[in-house]
Amino acid sequence: MKNIWIKDLKPGTEVTDFFVLRKKEIKPFNGQKYLKLELGDSTGRIDAVLFENVDESYVEAEPGDIVKVKGMTVTYREGLEIKVEKIRKVKEGEADPTDFLPRSEIDLGLLFDNFLKKTEKIKNQHLKKLLSVILEDEKLTRKLRIAPAAKLWHHSYLGGLLEHTLKVAEFCEKAADLYELVDRDLLLTGALLHDIGKIYTYSIAGFVDYTDEGRLLGHIVCGDELVYQKIKKIEGFPENLALELRHLILSHQGELELASPVVPQTLEAIILHYADEMDAKAGAFSEIIKRETLQGKTGKKWSDWVPLIHRYIYLGEEKADKLPQVDAAGKQESN
């Protein structure tokens, strides 16, 4: 059982606890070598270094393994890291795997129920049948219930894909109310399926990482292939409807430079793209603000540098009052 969470670590804390090993690398140092590590739990990540028994420690565990670490937290270049004395792979039953994967603050069962409710709004019988065929695939739905939406950037936790999908669907429904030419059923179905390929492109063994399919194909190709194969099982599915739905999936990233094989060329596609972009960006900003604010650095108005977007994020002075109270594992407490 874990004793302390990464989010609660302070400089000078003695640490004897369990973490997931995210990265490891042997690096040179003053003619010697040291082991650079990245450790994680459900509340965050932290760098760690080890200077003794480097070779033996390097082969002790692989990324994705849960390890037991003994060491001390120290400040290095204005950040916190653990100076490790010992590290070993845990024994079976010694640690709870759920301590190391962050999850949505919303109950995962509720997220899936809300996804099902969205599918019930579809009136087009062909699209309704497609969603039914997809949801009848139990192996697929098991993955869908827990899949993250990303590795690091937005909704990068268990249930993140459903949480993101539902918000994108909400944006799309509101847009359909505003623009009379929108095919509501097509747009909503596209919103529900636009990221479905992510169930195959991320693994969750210890921490979120890319699968081979994720690296070699990407979620857009995986999602289009999944939907196309399901469509082929439905007799009489209109060819043009299939084409337009697949276009929504293939174009939702918006730009060729962002891995979309085509750019949005229909009204529904351009709406979906900006709905997806809105929730991805707002979700990522929200997570960064939460993380920085919950670290409790008094008077801090700006985030640390965010490499993915090449900027700092303004935290403001009143954000903390809007955050839910969380328990030690980073889970939301009920009022």
Which segments within the chain are labelled E, that is strand?
Answer: 14-29, 32-41, 44-50, 66-76, 79-89, 202-203, 209-210
Locus of tokens 């965010």: 306
Average pLDDT of the residues of the chain:
89
Residue from 80, 88, 93, 65 nearest 1 by CA = 93
Strands 79-89 and 44-50: parallel
Residues 6+ apart with CB under 8 A from 299: none
Task: Give me the CATH number covering residue 73.
Answer: 2.40.50.140
Residue 329's pLDDT is what? 44
Report the sign of the C-alpha dihedral through residues 15, 40, 6, 105, in that order.
negative
Residues recorded for the chain = 335
Token readout for 157 is 């936790």
Residue from 278, 284, 269, 286 nearest 322 by CA = 286
77/155 same-domain check: no
Q: Residue 84 pairs with which residues in a beta bridge?
A: 50, 71
44 part of a folded domain: yes
155-188 pLDDT, tens per residue? 888 899 999 999 999 999 999 999 999 999 999 9
Amino acid at 88: R
78/134 same-domain check: no
Count structural domains, the chain.
Answer: 2
Locus of tokens 């604010």: 293
CA distance 192 to 173: 11
Report the 10 Å Cβ neighbour count for 97: 13
Q: What is the domain range of residue 263?
A: 114-283
302 part of a folded domain: no
290 part of a folded domain: no
- Confidence grade of residue 331 (pLDDT, cut at 50, 70, 90): very low
Q: Compute the average pLDDT of residues 29-39.
A: 92
59 part of a folded domain: yes
Task: Give me the CATH number covering residue 197.
Answer: 1.10.3210
130/89 same-domain check: no
305 part of a folded domain: no
163/87 same-domain check: no
65/198 same-domain check: no
216-260 pLDDT, tens per residue? 999 999 999 999 999 999 999 999 999 999 999 999 999 988 888
Residues 6+ apart with CB under 8 A from 67: 18, 19, 20, 21, 39, 60, 61, 87, 88, 89, 90
Q: What is the radius of gyration, based on Cα positions, of the chain?
A: 22
CA distance 47 to 35: 11
162/266 same-domain check: yes
CA distance 210 to 177: 37
40/119 same-domain check: no
167/199 same-domain check: yes
251 part of a folded domain: yes
94/240 same-domain check: no
User: Where is the domain boundary, 65, 98, 131?
Assistant: 98
1-24 pLDDT, tens per residue? 788 899 889 999 999 999 999 899
53 part of a folded domain: yes
**pLDDT > 70 in the chain, percent:** 92
164/73 same-domain check: no
82/27 same-domain check: yes
Residue from 223, 108, 219, 227 nearest 158 by CA = 108
289 part of a folded domain: no
64-106 pLDDT, tens per residue? 888 999 999 999 887 899 999 999 998 877 887 777 888 888 9
42/184 same-domain check: no
